[in-house]
Structure 1
Amino acid sequence: MPSISTAWVSDTEVMESPADPPKGAPRLFGGFGIDSLAAGLFLLAGAIVFLSYAPFTYHIYLALHVTAAVIWVGGDITLTTLGIVFERRHEGDTLAALGRMGAWIGTRVYTPALFVVIGFGIALMHELHLDYGQFWVVFGLTGWAIAAIVGVGFVGPELGRIDEAARTHGPESEEVARRVKRLFAIFRFDTALLILIVLDMATRPSF
């Protein structure tokens, strides 16, 4: 069974090497299948209809805020849960692939979602004339800032450092294994923080 560090490098090589396109359903724009495009169009049409018939601007802001939060938090929970499962099973190759895939989807999906969350969250605050000094608001904004710094400022650069460590010290070095383990530990605390933010926003505790 390959170790996490070995799998990290082997997975990198696989992702960087050209591969034959999979056989099956025809691929159209950007390699997407017809089913993916149809689902995307269905989602887009439904979203336009629902948002167009929203009774007030507040409901549009709320819908976009909640949708972005679902994408961000739900995706983070999924990655963290899979990481725990694969680590318990000692599936180093799968865990390494999951880490790299998390970085890929993080920059393309989760990072835009987290900025949509804060943008429409602030819009809701102004729409409802809420006080920024309330505990639940302060906690939510602070938690968002921490999660954003961890996701944007640490995870991406750390993946680069792991690749560099694998080339410098070897894929089976303790340095690589230590960094991979730390990365997934931070993922778990980040997920816990996001869930607490959701609970905070829903309950609006006052102290």
Structure 2
Amino acid sequence: MKASAYILVVLLPVSTGITAQEGNIDHYFMLNPGEIQSAGSEYQEYDVTLKWQNLDALTGSMINCNAVKATYMTGLENDYAGWKNVSLARIDDFQQQEFKGTELPSFDGFSYRAMDTAFLSEGFYGNIPAEQRDLARWLVSDAVQMQGLADYVFDSLTYNDEFLPVLLEDNDIRFENWVKFSSRYQKLIWSGIGRHHDEICAIVKFES
């Protein structure tokens, strides 16, 4: 079973940025997410960092720790999403923030229909080198999950309250000729706000 914890960054309306600059932070925590107009199909870029450890199957001790940085693009033509600027690095542990990775140019131009189950098939990754396909599956499946939650769950959140989507309980995702991810629950908490690239964002912790 894959245990996951993520921090989602959800953009709030740009017009509210003036209020934040004036110091009226409380305004954001009283927002009803359901009233926020989605950017919809507009082109957007997201900075993505994915970290994972390889552990010894018998002792549980860490063999190595790895990290990927990438740019995830949504709102491409025909409702496509894609990746660019993907790099892979070996790091000391999850606490390491700065790292210089090896670029993976095979991901540049890797695009697909954003909300589709085709990513579960083996042929979906045919243009990615075999040794990088596991990474491609992780990136795509995590992005589908995060984008789906942002689109369909964010309007159910209230500040600092746990939300467990009933429809996502006991959910299995099976890849062709690979692995099955089993999620027995998914929990989200809107825990704060922040600023990223001069845009006001909601910080949402996701756990499964």
Q: TM-score surpassing 0.5?
A: no
Identify the TM-score tier after normalising by the shorter chain: under 0.3
Which is strand-richer, 1 or 2? 2
Higher relative contact order (CA 8 A, sep 6+): 1
After TM superposition, the score normalised by the length of structure 2 is 0.24
Q: Who wins on radius of gyration, i.e. which is larger?
A: 1
Which is helix-richer, 1 or 2? 1
